[in-house]
Amino acid sequence: MVERDVQAVLTELVRRENESTRRLRALEERSSLTEMRASTLQDAVLKMNEEKKLFNEKLNERLTNIENSILRIDNELTKINKNLEKVAKRTELKELENMLSFFNPLKTNFVTKEEVKRMLEERE
């Protein structure tokens, strides 16, 4: 009977040990999975940080290019404005056109010498 009790106790101890071992393996597997997930997340975060860094570098480069383009355009507009100040205005051109049309022999009626003499004779 003592031997049976000892056998029963030993059997119970082995069963508990097996159960503990099974639980320990399950915990180790869960721990391993958690470590893999953490590692995967860490890799993803590092990759995202690298992509963000590259994106920011490209964005800064594009902004620098845009800023340079704006400066060039601003310089060109300044040059154009300076040149426009030198150009005659529309009213000045109209005035010049009127003066030229006034002295244009094809459009104005000039009096010849004979016509002047005849007009003077008619007056007298």
pLDDT, tens only, 66-121: 999 999 999 999 999 998 888 878 888 888 888 777 776 666 567 788 888 888 88
Distance CA 93, CA 101 (A): 12
pLDDT value at residue 106:
63
Is residue 77 included in any domain, yes or no?
A: no
Instruction: Centre a 10 Å sphere on the Cβ of residue 48 and count the other Cβ atoms it contains.
Output: 10
CA quadruple 93, 94, 99, 104: dihedral positive or negative?
positive
pLDDT of 58 > 80? The answer is yes
Is residue 49 included in any domain, yes or no?
A: no
- Between 6 and 34, the more confident residue is 34
Mean pLDDT within 9-38: 95
Is residue 51 included in any domain, yes or no?
A: no
pLDDT value at residue 124:
76
Q: What is the mean pLDDT of the chain?
A: 90
Question: What's the domain range around 119?
Answer: 90-124
pLDDT value at residue 96:
83
Is residue 107 included in any domain, yes or no?
A: yes
Distance CA 92, CA 98 (A): 10
Is residue 98 included in any domain, yes or no?
A: yes
Is residue 116 included in any domain, yes or no?
A: yes
The total of structural domains in the chain comes to 1
Is residue 123 included in any domain, yes or no?
A: yes
